[in-house]
Amino acid sequence: MEKANLSEGNRRDFLIKLTSVVGGAGVVATCVPFVASMNPSSDVLAKAETEVDLSGITPGTMHTIAWQGKPVFIVQRTPEQIKAAEASNGGIDPEPDSKRVQKPEWLVVVGVCTHMGCVPNKEGPGWVCHCHGSEYDESGRVIRGPAPKNLEVPPYHFVAENKVVIGAT
């Protein structure tokens, strides 16, 4: 049997290629856990959707639930509140009421002030943030600042007459 002799140049090229492949595989193996850590955790995914039974909410009252660590205000509006909301487009951030609700009698908004993240209090037909004085109307639209935007409307959909799912639509 004859021994295959590799010249010095061929051997060097082979070792460089082999080292590069092994090093590249090591880099990929090291990066996988870091990339995987950027995915949402299981507890966040579990809270991605919240189903709410609306049957216990009477007209003119508000129910607060937690969704993704934030309060969500659900209001069953009276015909008077609906008329007042439809008659105005808001103040600082104008938006028609029809774009903020799926059913006129139900308002669903994230209860976090858009100025500094405080939780506004229900006062009269709307909300007041006592931290810095922002006021929101019966549709969650900002009518007096310093808040720059309306209360956020989360993604939601009705799955039955008295059930709403807040989260992915």
Residues with a catalytic annotation lie at 132
- Shared domain for 55 and 27, answered yes or no, is no
pLDDT at residue 144 in the model? 85
* 39 contacts: CB under 8 Å, gap ≥ 6: none
Residue labelled with tokens 């969650």? 140
- Give me the number of domains the chain comprises: 2
pLDDT at residue 3 in the model? 56
- Shared domain for 15 and 71, answered yes or no, is no
- Shared domain for 29 and 73, answered yes or no, is no
pLDDT at residue 43 in the model? 64
Could you say which residues of the chain have pLDDT below 50? Answer: 1
- Shared domain for 54 and 25, answered yes or no, is no
- Shared domain for 136 and 67, answered yes or no, is yes
Expressed as residue numbers, the domain containing 6 is: 1-39
The CATH number covering residue 143 comes to: 2.102.10.10
- Shared domain for 18 and 95, answered yes or no, is no
- Shared domain for 31 and 91, answered yes or no, is no
- Shared domain for 1 and 65, answered yes or no, is no
- Shared domain for 35 and 48, answered yes or no, is no
- Shared domain for 97 and 149, answered yes or no, is yes
pLDDT at residue 46 in the model? 57
Strand partners, 160: 163
pLDDT at residue 105 in the model? 93
N- to C-terminal Cα separation, the chain: 72
Q: Is 57 strand, coil or helix?
A: coil
Q: How many CA atoms lie within 13 A of 73 on its CB side?
A: 26
Residue labelled with tokens 């809270």? 47
pLDDT at residue 157 in the model? 92
pLDDT at residue 2 in the model? 53
167, 50 contact by CB (below 8 A): yes
- Shared domain for 34 and 105, answered yes or no, is no
- Shared domain for 88 and 118, answered yes or no, is yes
